[in-house]
Structure 1
Amino acid sequence: MLVKFKKAVPIIEKIEKAGFEAYFVGGSVRDYLLNKPIEDVDIATSAFPDEVKQIFPKTIDVGIEHGTVIVVYEGENYEITTFRTEDQYVDFRRPKEVTFIRSLKEDLQRRDFTMNAIAMTKDGELIDPFDGQQDIKNQIIRTVGEPEERFKEDALRMMRGVRFVSQLSFYLEKNTYSAIERLAPLLQHISVERIYMEFMKLLKGKNCSKALDLIAESNLYEFLPGFSEYREQLKKATTYISNRNLNEVEVWALLLILFQNESIEELLRKWKMPVKLIRKIKQIIQAYKNRQNESWSNESIYLTGLDIAIHTEKVFCAINNKEADTSVKKIRQTFVGLPIKNRDELAVNGNDLMKWSDKRGGPWVREALEKIELAVIRGEVMNDKEQIKEWYST
Structure 2
Amino acid sequence: MKIEKLPAVFEPARPILQRIEQAGYEAYFVGGCVRDTILGDPIHDIDIATSAYPAEIKQIFNRTVDTGIEHGTVMILDHGVGYETTTFRTESGYQDFRRPDSVTFVRSLAEDLKRRDFTINALALKENGEVIDLFDGLGDLKRHLIKAVGKPAERFHEDALRMMRAVRFASKLNFKIDEPTKQGIKDNAPLLEKIAVERIRVEFEKLLLGQNPVAGLTDLIETDLYRYCPKLADQKTALDQLLDLKPWQLKTEAEAWAVLMMVMQLDHAQRNAFLKAWKTSNDLIGAVQKIVLAANAILNDQLTPAILFATGEKLLISANRVAALFGQSQEELDLRDRYQALPIKNAKELAVNGGQLIKLAHVKPGPKMGRILHQLQQQVLDRKLPNDQNALLAAAAQLAKEDGNENIKS
Q: What corresponds to 2:313 in structure 1?
A: 306
Please give the alpha-carbon distance, in whole angstroms, between the structure 1 residues aligned to 2:114 and 2:330.
47
Aligned to 1:333: 337
In the alignment, structure 1 residue 191 sits paired with structure 2 residue 161? no
Matched, 1:115 2:111: no
Aligned partner of 1:384: which letter?
D
Cα distance, 1:184–1:357 mapped onto 2, change above 3 Å: closer
Map Cα deviations across residues 49-101 of structure 1 (whole Å, 9 max, x no partner): 11111111111112111111111132211110111111232232222211111
The aligned counterpart of 2:303 is: 296
Output the CA distance in 2 between the equivalents of 1:148 and 1:273: 30
Farther off after superposition, 135-144 or 84-93? 84-93
State the partner residue of 2:257: 252
* 1:39 paired to 2:44: yes
Partner Cα distance (2:41, 2:301) in 1? 43
User: What are the within-5 Å matches in structure 2 for residues 1-394 of structure 1?
Assistant: 1-245=6-250, 247-261=252-266, 263-288=270-295, 295-319=302-326, 321-322=327-328, 324-326=329-331, 328-358=332-362, 360-389=364-393
Per-residue Cα deviation, 1:144-181 (whole angstroms, up to 9, x for no partner)? 11222211222111111111111111111121112112
Paired AA for residue 380 in structure 1: K
SS in 1 for 2:55: helix
Q: Give % identity.
A: 43
Given that 1:4 and 1:40 are in contact with CA atoms closer than 8 Å, whether structure 2 keeps it comes out as no
Q: Separation in 1 of the partners of 2:69 and 2:322? A: 45
CA distance in 2, matches of 1:22, 1:317: 48
Letter in structure 2 aligned against 1:295: Q
**Bigger Cα displacement from structure 2, 256-265 vs 148-157:** 256-265
TM-score w.r.t. structure 1 length? Answer: 0.91
Partner Cα separation in structure 2 for residue 249 and residue 89 of structure 1 = 34
Name the SS of the counterpart of 2:283 in structure 1.
helix
Counterpart Cα distance in 2 of 1:295 and 1:87:
59
Range with bigger deviation, 42-51 or 301-310: 301-310
Residues 341 and 97 of structure 1: is their aligned pair in 2 closer, same or farther, counting only changes over 3 Å?
same
Measured against aligned partners, the alpha-carbon deviations of 1:228-262 in whole angstroms (never above 9, x if no partner) come to: 00112111112225434353212212212322345
Change (3 A) 1:357 1:103: closer
SS at match of 2:16: helix
Deviations 1:182-230 (A, max 9, x none): 2211212222222122222222212122211211111000110111001
Q: In 2 relative to 1, CA 350–292 (structure 1 residues): closer, same or farther, beyond 3 Å?
A: same
SS of 2:157 mapped into structure 1: helix
Give me the whole-angstrom Cα distance separating, in 1, the residues matched to 2:173 and 2:45: 18
Structure 1's 99 and 383: CA in aligned 2 closer, same or farther, altered over 3 A? same
Give yes or no for contact 1:91–1:189 (8 Å, CA) kept in 2: yes
- Please, which runs of 5 or more residues in structure 2 have no aligned partner? 1-5, 399-410
Offset at residue 356 of structure 1 (A): 4.0
Q: Give me the TM-score of the superposition, normalised by structure 2.
A: 0.88
**1:379–1:14 distance in 2 versus 1, CA, 3 Å:** same
